[in-house]
Chain A
Amino acid sequence: MIVQKTVRFLDERLRITGFSKKTLRRVFPDHWSFLLGEIALYLFLILIGTGIFLTFFFSPSAREVIYSGSYTPLRGVHMSQAYESLLDISFEVRSGLVMRQIHHWAALLFLAVLVVHMLRVFFTGAFRKPRELNWIVGLTLLTLGLLAGFSGYSLPDDLLSGTGLRIGYSVALSIPVVGTWLAFLVFGGEFPFGNIISRLYVIHILLIPGAIGLLLGLHLAMVWRQKHTQFPGPMRTEQKIVGTRMWPTYAVKAGALFFLTASTVTLLAGLFQINPVWIYGPFDPARVSAGAQPDWYLGWLEGALRLMPAWEVRAFGFTIPNPFFPGLLIPGLTFNILYAWPWIEAKFTKDTAPHNLLNRPRDVPVRTALGVAGLSFYTVLFVAGGNDVIAGLFNLPLERVTQGLQVMAFALPLVAGIATHRICKELKGRPPKTGDEPGHVIVRTADGSYETAEPEKV
């Protein structure tokens, strides 16, 4: 009764019945890997929710104060108001620490899920026509996610994040021709930049989430319009989609996934400490801590900076400094190649037909091999971001670890790529396991040995 009345009210004003009927009966293909993007969406919602709570207590100010709160080891220490408010959120505000840790864990997982989601789309060829535009929007969302992460963990104005900002500034400074101006305009002047925290704050809580929100809407709208891809299977064709209806099964499953995602994040946040800034201490431009690692999603850039040999370009009195190559050229090339990938691939395969059915990675050996090669390159860079940790853990000389990783950065992609190509060729054409094909039966023969037989022969 109440549903009818509501529908009538809305229909008389907005004409919703046609659209609603279609929506409720919409069919979504089922596969666990299609849930990755959905999980990322839920993590974004959790980030927004906990983020709003944190803004009520965080103070993005560089003004110097003397700490007098309840965390005794830092009493009497000079620090920025931003860092003090972080301590207050952690120690004075009831439920503040759990909110902060949920926020940080959700951010770490958000980036992880985005990357895995992107890998799924890449390896299954979901980016192919007609979905190239959504691949571009997705990559932009990943870029924004990285910026959101960096701007967010730089806000506390602790020793670790201050070091990260300093490196970011040095990388900006290294850009040919415009580096100094760009660095001064972005950071508001020479290091240690008076008002960078308030600037990052606006970027972190308004500009980036706003942009993510808009592009996320566009991303979902395009999925809605084009409908989700599906793996090949019985009845599934380029024209027919097989799956679960929106109402009620899919909607309830989606709700369940939200709660399970949130449950995982809150469990991590409650039991596993993350970014304990009170241990790092307030930022001091003349201090640095050993074993400083960024959050995991920037580890590949940190590793690239560490693996880069000691050379730079000097010609005609100009310099292209060392950090430019690992800090900007590598990520620049990475993202440009990724953005262009749907067209690069279409050019080589000459495949310009629209696709709704996904590839199994083994069926496209070259793409899969290139993807694995690229992935192993970034994995080596990521590992190199912790070369000091590895050297300490295995008691090896740091220089040897670095040299070994420098070799691996080129060798591993080559080996992994070739191996992947061969494995794909080997597996290609084998039918997928659906679970309902007839199995083989092992039969004992008269002489006591065993042989396999087709089931119908038994």
Chain B
Amino acid sequence: MNEIKGEDQAVRRIALAFGVSTLAGLALALVYILGGNVQAEGVLLALSLGGLGYGLAEWAGKLMSQGAEVGDYEDAPPPGAEEEVAGVVSEGWEASFGRRKFLFRMLGAAAGAMGLALVFPIRSLGPSPGTSLLRTAWRKGSRMVREDGQLVKATDLAVEGVLTVFPEGQTDQADSQTLLIRVDPDQLNSPDGREDWTTEDGLIAYSKICTHAGCPVGLYRVATHDLFCPCHQSTFDVLDGAKPIAGPATRALPQLPIEVDEDGYIVAKDDFSEPVGPAWWDMNR
């Protein structure tokens, strides 16, 4: 008696679920015709699919036979079966390749040569690294421009100002992106041999590419005079040769030697001091 009542209730619930699903499907079509809306589409899809899912789950769970059927797992293989197969293989081998060792070696040579030849097209996938990682587009006399190509004058930056710059005409050269920062020249502690790499009024230029994993070192924190990479939080001391002071980076940001030309534009005196960006196996060779 209870069972029949339970079944009746289940039938009602399933019918309701399918009904909701039907209505949601029709409404979904209507939403599309009216121009679409992501929230309405998502919810109506969820109702239409969910109604079907719930209805079927209820049907299978309440109105169909449950569990407790018995089946068999595979038996373990009979002992000795492998010998038979191995016998067939070695018999065939002996009857063909085993007797013609010379031919078989020739076959091996041909297959090997073909395999070797097929490796070569992989070379087409990319250029040779060559010296491309060692150099950027900066040259002696390259004038600095902003990302939009506008030339940079020494007077453009206030103290603690920072600017992303490129060599003139090379704003698409991602490896040449450089941060130009003006600091108080009295606070600056240039490493030996780099005393004349900055301008007298405290303009200093470092590669913007993190030496850890190559993200742009996007954040200049004025209070502590450090450059911070938001990707893995390597931090570089601007006043002390951009040496790493926190985070996973192990090498300083390469410095770009700069000066002001007679027209007041900032120019590079050379390429960067070291290869820019992340390290590789033989970068110091």
Contacts and interface: CB of A to CB of B under 8 A. Distances in A.
Nearest to B171: A286
B282 A318 contact: yes
Contacts of B246: 310, 399
11 contacts: A97-B38, A170-B214, A235-B70, A262-B53, A267-B46, A288-B230, A290-B219, A321-B250, A321-B280, A388-B233, A399-B246
A240 B216 contact: no
Interface of A: 25-27, 30, 94-95, 97-98, 101-102, 163, 166-167, 169-171, 173-181, 183-192, 225-227, 235, 238-245, 248-250, 252-253, 255-264, 266-271, 285-292, 305-306, 308-312, 314, 317-323, 326-327, 354, 356, 387-388, 398-399, 402
Nearest to A99: B41
B53 A263 contact: yes
Contact of B56 (A259, A308, A327): A259
Given A249-B64, A259-B53, A270-B39, A26 B71 contact: yes
B222 interface: no
B64 A322 contact: no
Contacts of A192: 174
A270 B46 contact: yes
A238 B285 contact: no
Given A102-B42, A288-B229, A305-B232, 11 more contacts: A173-B280, A181-B129, A225-B74, A252-B64, A266-B46, A286-B177, A286-B208, A288-B231, A305-B231, A310-B247, A321-B278
Q: Which of A30, A226, A239, A321 counts the most B-chain CB atoms under 10 A from its CB?
A: A321
A22 to B, nearest CB: 10
Size bracket of the B interface = 35 or more
B61 interface: yes
B68 interface: yes
A387 B247 CA distance: 12
Given A181-B129, A227-B73, A260-B50, A288 B64 contact: no
A197 B104 CA distance: 45
Given A189-B127, A226-B74, A266 B49 contact: yes
A257 B61 CA distance: 12
A180 B231 contact: no
Interface of B: 32, 35-36, 38-43, 45-47, 49-50, 52-57, 59-61, 64-76, 122-123, 125-129, 132-133, 147, 164, 174-175, 177, 208, 212-216, 218-219, 229-234, 244, 246-250, 277-285
Q: Which of A181, A322, A323, A354 counts the most B-chain CB atoms under 10 A from its CB?
A: A322
Contacts of B45: 98, 102, 262-263, 266-267, 269-270
A269 B37 CA distance: 12
B258 to A, nearest CB: 18
Contacts of A185: 122-123, 125-126
B61 A253 contact: yes
A312 to B, nearest CB: 5
Contacts of B125: 185-186, 188
A98 B230 contact: no
Nearest to B249: A310
A238 B73 contact: yes
A169 B214 contact: yes
B280 A184 contact: no
A321 B251 CA distance: 10
Contacts of A311: 250
A270 B38 contact: yes
B75 to A, nearest CB: 8
A388 B147 contact: no
Closest 3 A/B residue pairs (Cβ):
A270-B42, A259-B53, A263-B50
Given A190-B133, A399-B246, A184 B41 contact: no
A258 B213 CA distance: 41
Nearest to B41: A98
Contacts of B133: 180, 190
B53 A256 contact: yes
A243 B69 CA distance: 5
B213 A253 contact: no
B214 A166 contact: yes
A185 B121 CA distance: 11
A187 B128 CA distance: 12
B246 to A, nearest CB: 6
Given A94-B32, A189-B126, A309-B248, A176 B281 contact: yes
A242 B164 contact: no
A180 B281 contact: yes
B53 A260 contact: yes
Nearest to A255: B56
A82 to B, nearest CB: 17
Contacts of B229: 288
Contacts of B49: 259-260, 262-263, 266
Contacts of A227: 71, 73-74
B127 to A, nearest CB: 5
B214 A288 contact: no
Q: Which of A192, A226, A266 counts the most B-chain CB atoms under 10 A from its CB?
A: A266
A176 B250 CA distance: 17
Contacts of A102: 42, 45
B212 A319 contact: no
Given A173-B280, A180-B281, A239 B72 contact: yes
A29 to B, nearest CB: 9
A267 B43 contact: yes
A242 B69 CA distance: 6
A315 to B, nearest CB: 11
A191 to B, nearest CB: 6
A319 B281 contact: yes
Contact of A266 (B42, B74, B230, B231): B42
B42 A271 contact: yes
A253 B74 contact: no
